[in-house]
Amino acid sequence: MADPVLSVQDLTTSFRVDGQWRSVVRDVSFDIGPQETVAVVGESGSGKSVTAMSIMRLLPPGNARSTGRIEFEGEDLLAGPLEQMQAIRGNRIGMIFQEPMTSLNPVLKIGSQITEVLRQHRGLDGAEAEAEAVRLLDRVRIPSAAARLGEYPMNFSGGMRQRVVIAIALACAPRLLIADEPTTALDVTIQAQILELIKTLQEEEGMSVLFITHDMGVVAEISDRTVVMYRGEVVEKATTEAIFREARHPYSRALLSAVPQLGAMAGQDRPLRFPRVDMATGEIAPPPPTADTVRVNEPPVLKVDNLVTRFPVRKGILRRVVGRIHAVEDISFELRQGETLSLVGESGCGKSTTGRSLIRLEEPSGGTVGMDGHDVRGAGHSELTKIRRDVQMIFQDPFESLNPRIRIGEAIAEPMIVHGLVSRREAPARVADLLERVGLSGEMMQRFPHEFSGGQRQRICIARALALEPKLIVADESVSALDVSVKAQVINLMLDLQERYGLGYLFISHDMAVVERISHRVAVMYLGEIVEIGPRAAVFETPQHPYTRKLIAAVPVADPSRRRRRVVAGDEIRSPYRPADYVAPKRLYREVGEGHFVQIHESEAAA
């Protein structure tokens, strides 16, 4: 191999916590060759981001220290003074971060943010810098670049912002690009665009890329070699093909088996648990099959007809309604006891609003919602209380959805006591029982939420939801914020509970692969409307609507041997904002298979 561009040897980074030094990264070594892409993959707390920050020396000098050797083109980055690093940072090493909004200054024009770098590092000025900025925006495929120089970051969408950040990183033609979770905050179709862009640019510029991610699908898609990190240490490094073909370390195997793969469910007609991996031996136990839980012969527990939820947008002194966000537009579906219906779509498609409208956390503007025979929209106070007991929600962020000042035992007991299901005296026993059912221990009752990890907190939320013995659980992106292996465990738990209690799930998610794993039926949402709904196998194996196809095509495939150059459409996600006098067209659906409906395209409908 040619001389590596970057060579990290025995890197150890420690942080000072409460006056004590704790090592967060230990003895990490890897090389990146010229024009090579190396992925560092691991879960939260594995030290992957700290490794990147250590290379750039971006950690606060007082509270963090790094030892070892980081050689960049023969120069030891750790040895020199910080000023020397300043010349390398943003010049010979470019960096892009996860959150494109926070890495751009919101009050400066895009143009001046790019020309600033050009002035500083390349000594260009005035018209010269401007011309170069236009060229850079062209490189990252931002249409009508010259016109957009005068705009502010808020005028750009998430994907476009990330392109601008990449343009800035490229400004000095770096030899190495460090990308720290650059696509995690983006929607899947936009993620596909950005990954494609990074690959193309790497070829054009001949640079090396250090790609940090938690997503094995993205790893398979982009990297030549992969470094797997676990609790601050490198547990395995090999070519990406080798890792995916025959991972040696138990942790790598566990990580891989927990990765939902789109298409892995072909031929299955029920949801499937994730296989369990023994962390000592690395042996993979096949998952027990799920039972058939759907109660086909009973009337559906939830019946939604022509639900509409719109948010008025007001302007001016008189606060007149100038337009509306059509968050949910004329959707209908049913859900049976023991069935999982997934709502999938990208951000802003109205899937969360749909879930919230069901129990009137958002007030619907039209349509009917029937919950076990009760009319939700017409329900009075006491009837709504009864409905909300039967429908429980689990939210996305387990750090947010538990009150930080209430002990978890009390948090779980509270709804039961308020609704008179148990007395104060009986509550602790019942809480302990619930905690054990979700895989925690009853002794944890006395603790506060901040003493738990993300996965544990989500289990607590599930225990609390179960406390009221609901018929239906609305899971709003409930596993999206969790690490892969924890995500797999929580999904397995949800499947166990479905078998045990015959729960219906309305599973709201943007993650196609997870949806494929857990659902009986799937509804694809776009701009507030359901464009396709049907049995899981039918929707994933024979998608009919162009948007469903686009969504499935954009999901990264966790298999490097199936890597392909994709032609990714460069279009943006559109906004569901409409002027006040807009009349939503009546949508028609065509049945293409048993229970499989597809929205008829406008041009067809007119004919």
Partner 1 sequence: MAAPSETARSVHADAAAASASVSPFRQTLGKLLRDPLALIGLLVVTLLVIGAVFAPLIAPQDPYDLAQLDIMDGRLAPGSQSMTGMIYLLGTDDQGRDLFSAILFGLRTSLLVGIASAAIALAIGASVGLFSAYAGGRTDAFLMRIVDIQLSFPAILIALIFLAILGQGVDKIILALVVTQWAYYARTVRGSALVERKRAYVDAARSMALPDRRILFRHILPNCLPPLIVVATMRVAYAIMLEATLSFLGIGLPVTEPSLGLLVSNGYEYLLSGDYWISFYPGLALLVLIVSINLIGDSLRDILNPRREG
- Residues at the site binding partner 1, with contacts judged by CB under 8 A: 15, 17-18, 22, 24, 44-45, 47, 49-50, 52-53, 97-99, 102, 180-181, 212, 356, 359, 361, 384-389, 391-393, 395-397, 400-406, 414-415, 418-419, 446-448, 450-451, 453, 461, 464, 468, 481
Distance separating alpha carbons of residues 299 and 15, to the nearest angstrom: 58
| Residue with Cβ nearer partner 1 (310 or 457) | 457
Distance separating alpha carbons of residues 190 and 585, to the nearest angstrom: 28
Q: How far is the CB of 182 from partner 1 (least distance, A)?
A: 11
Distance separating alpha carbons of residues 52 and 177, to the nearest angstrom: 11
| Residue with Cβ nearer partner 1 (273 or 388) | 388
3-class secondary-structure state, position 416 = helix
| Residue with Cβ nearer partner 1 (223 or 396) | 396
Contact 201, 193 (CB under 8 A): no
| Residue with Cβ nearer partner 1 (180 or 532) | 180
| Residue with Cβ nearer partner 1 (92 or 356) | 356
Distance separating alpha carbons of residues 96 and 177, to the nearest angstrom: 8
Contact 522, 540 (CB under 8 A): yes
Q: How far is the CB of 50 from partner 1 (least distance, A)?
A: 5
| Residue with Cβ nearer partner 1 (400 or 436) | 400
Contact 145, 134 (CB under 8 A): yes
Q: What is the DSSP letter of 140?
A: T
Distance separating alpha carbons of residues 389 and 595, to the nearest angstrom: 30
Please, which contacts does 195-202 make with residues 24 or more away whose CB atoms are closer than 8 Å? 195/221, 195/222, 195/556, 196/566, 196/568, 197/140, 197/141, 197/163, 197/166, 198/166, 198/222, 201/139, 201/140, 201/166, 201/170, 202/35, 202/37, 202/177
For tokens 């020396």, what's the residue? 57
| Residue with Cβ nearer partner 1 (284 or 468) | 468
* Opening angle at CA 320, ends 315 and 322, nearest 5: 65
Q: How far is the CB of 439 from partner 1 (least distance, A)?
A: 17
Q: How far is the CB of 98 from partner 1 (least distance, A)?
A: 6
H helices present in 478-535, as ranges: 484-501, 512-518
Distance separating alpha carbons of residues 231 and 25, to the nearest angstrom: 8
Q: How far is the CB of 482 from partner 1 (least distance, A)?
A: 11
Q: How far is the CB of 19 from partner 1 (least distance, A)?
A: 11
Residue 428: HSE in the Cβ half-sphere, 13 Å Cα cutoff: 6
| Residue with Cβ nearer partner 1 (172 or 361) | 361
| Residue with Cβ nearer partner 1 (270 or 407) | 407
Q: How many helices (H) and strands (E) does the chain have?
A: 20, 25
| Residue with Cβ nearer partner 1 (391 or 525) | 391
Question: What are the tokens at 274?
Answer: 């994730």
Q: How far is the CB of 504 from partner 1 (least distance, A)?
A: 16
| Residue with Cβ nearer partner 1 (449 or 560) | 449
Q: How far is the CB of 414 from partner 1 (least distance, A)?
A: 7
Q: How far is the CB of 360 from partner 1 (least distance, A)?
A: 9
- Which positions ≥6 away from 20 have C-beta within 8 Å? none
Q: How far is the CB of 402 from partner 1 (least distance, A)?
A: 6
Is residue 188 packed enough to be buried (19+ CB in 10 Å), middle (13-18) or exposed (0-12)? buried
Please, which contacts does 495-500 make with residues 24 or more away whose CB atoms are closer than 8 Å? 495/271, 495/273, 495/290, 497/437, 497/438, 497/462, 497/466, 498/290, 498/293, 498/338, 498/340, 499/290, 499/291, 499/293
Q: How far is the CB of 557 from partner 1 (least distance, A)?
A: 25
Q: How far is the CB of 574 from partner 1 (least distance, A)?
A: 26
Distance separating alpha carbons of residues 472 and 34, to the nearest angstrom: 54
Question: What are the tokens at 92?
Answer: 């010979």
| Residue with Cβ nearer partner 1 (155 or 385) | 385
